[in-house]
Amino acid sequence: MSPATPPTSSATDAECVVLTRNLRRRGVLVLSVFALMWALAAASGTGSATEAAPLGIEAAALLLTAAAIYLGYRKDAAPSPRTVNLPAGWARGVGIVNTVELAAVFAVIAASNASGRPEVVPAGIALVVGLHFFPLARLYDQWQYKWTASLMTAVAVAGFVLVAAGLASETVRIVVGLGSALVLWASSYHLALRG
């Protein structure tokens, strides 16, 4: 091999590159779809489904989601700048984190409704979602999930403050829904464009 010829990747390196690309693409899909769900929740707080405000939010949300997925899955995307370094048992860890998150979401809904405080649900769910990104940052070797976690937690705190201030549940749903959607879309676009 001449000095100008780059070394051939081993099968392990090639598999790692494929795994990295697949995990990041899956991250783009999951983040953008959940961002869409948060945006739709926000739109539901803006008025009747036939009014311009919710329709505008829904249309923008669909476009942002479709664009993120397109960017994440396009064939001509540059390769990720680095491959992930997954800890042992990462898939099992992700399963545990997601199971705990789902159970906590149901617990938030049940406790909020049982206490007669359904207006707390959006902020409570945003808090659970935000916190679950802290362990996912390590398990997926994605440092950017730490800022996703921090920003989602901040959105949740803002929602709790609005509830404590006595604002209408629709206002809380709009603020928490749009805030959460923006954080998740930002994370999705970051993965799609920068890895």
Which tens digit of pLDDT belongs to each residue from 146-157? 999 999 999 999
pLDDT at 19: 84
Give residue 138's pLDDT band: very low, low, confident or very high (50, 70, 90).
very high
Under 8 Å between Cβ of 137 and 143: yes
Mean pLDDT of 189-193: 92
Q: Is the pLDDT of residue 181 over 70?
A: yes
* pLDDT of 105 higher than 80: yes
Residue 77 has, within 13 A of its CA and on its CB side, a CA count of 22
pLDDT at 109 (0 to 100): 97
Please state the pTM of the whole predicted model: 0.87
Instruction: Return mean pLDDT, the chain.
Output: 89
Kindly tell me the sign of the dihedral angle through the C-alpha atoms of 167, 38, 93, 12: negative
pLDDT at 5 over 50: no
* Model confidence at 6: pLDDT above 50: no
Q: What pLDDT is recorded for position 2?
A: 37
| Confidence category of residue 46, pLDDT binned at 50, 70, 90 | confident
> How distant, in Å, are the alpha carbons of 39, 59, 120 from that of 65?
10, 10, 26
Residue 124 token pair: 């409570």
| Per-residue model confidence (pLDDT) at position 81 | 75
